[in-house]
Structure 1
Amino acid sequence: MNTFAHIKPIAQYKKVSYYSVSIDDGDTSLFEDFVKNHTTENKNKLDHILNWLKEIGNNYGARTDYFRPEGETADTSALPPQGISRKPQYTEYGKKKANSLRLYCLRANESVVFLFNGDIKTDRKAQNCPNVKPHFKLANKLTKAINTAFIEGDINWNDNWTEISYNEDLIIYF
């Protein structure tokens, strides 16, 4: 049996439009599940990532240096960006600290980002971490499938490559 996904718009800011996908016939997207799963236990870490999404979306655009290269392919990445000195900063007990929560995504270009799911990373490599490994592997599969949909013309760019168009009934198999 094939697994499939539908594209779901998440948010549109001045410089970036964010999308996610819902798997099979699910009502919520992977990103919405991510937010729901981390709202209570990891609220500060989640808020840090959500602030980065706003900051990137309104002020910078989805430049590669704002995304953490963690994927098996060059296109799969994660948030938050590397480095603890960048703003917005994550602090724990009043000290700057690296945020261990990972949100996997596909930075399609500087204007379009697909947000998937993630968790607390406890190992240096995502594929070795029991928490993030399933999200990491799924993000890599979805990245390949979405890139294929672009190549096959199922997802198209507008004239200035700032937005995508697709049939609402588009099914992406992976």
Structure 2
Amino acid sequence: MRKDLDFTKVRYYTLKFEDDIQELQKFYDKYQPGHSKSINYIKMWLAEIGEKYGAESRFFRPEDNAKALPPPTTLIRSIDKQIDEENMHLRLYCILLSPEIVILVNGGVKESDATRDSPSCWKEFQFASNIASQIQKMLSDGHLQIKGKMLKRSKSFKLTYKK
């Protein structure tokens, strides 16, 4: 468990597949060099949501069965936060499981209005959506349980995806 992902109201998890680095770290490594302000903006929202609000769906952009950060601009305006228009194009895909648990996946640069027209976003959205479906099935089958800020998985818990 990464300490920087555990806040008062929310514990963020990330995915790690066999012999690979964490998906969140892949996102940071890929976009930090050219999009450091956008990465910091997303990190600020992770901390803000994690400490102040909890993982309410209104803080995440709806993307089918996955979600995305940063929050929608209407929400940012409604809580009197400064909108950083310049750094609103990077998306971090998430799976919102409860007000206390969010799984951070990966993301990309949103280059057009439609996610499917943004190549790096579309690929990562499809990945997040597929994993979200698998996780929902694991929850309903009892192979994954939510206990407060903890995720408990059975021995038969397994996610699969080929990028």
Write out aligned runs for 1:82-97 (5 A): 82-83=72-73, 85=77, 89-91=82-84, 96-97=85-86
1:130 corresponds in structure 2 to: 119
**Alignment partner of 1:171 is 2:161:** no
Output one character per residue of 1:63-82: Cα deviation in whole Å (capped at 9) or x when no partner: 011000123x3xx1100001
**Alignment partner of 1:20 is 2:14:** yes
Q: Contact 2:37/2:87 (CA < 8 Å) preserved in 1?
A: no
Shift of 1:113: 0.2
Superposition TM-score, scaled by structure 1 size: 0.81
Which of 36, 59, 79 is matched with 2:69 structurally? 79
Greater share of helix: 2
Structure 2's unaligned 5+ residue stretches are none
1:115 corresponds in structure 2 to: 104
1:61 corresponds in structure 2 to: 54
Superposition TM-score, scaled by structure 2 size: 0.86
AA in 2 matched with 1:131: S
Question: What is the CA–CA distance in structure 2 between the aligned matches of 1:70 and 1:156, rounded to whole Å?
Answer: 23
Number of aligned positions between the proteins: 156
Structure 1's unaligned 5+ residue stretches are 1-8
AA in 2 matched with 1:64: S
Match of 1:172, SS?
coil
AA in 2 matched with 1:34: F
Shift of 1:116: 0.6
Residues 130 and 27 of structure 1: is their aligned pair in 2 closer, same or farther, counting only changes over 3 Å? closer
Percent of paired sites with the same residue: 26
Residues 125 and 42 of structure 1: is their aligned pair in 2 closer, same or farther, counting only changes over 3 Å? same
Shift of 1:13: 0.7
AA in 2 matched with 1:103: L
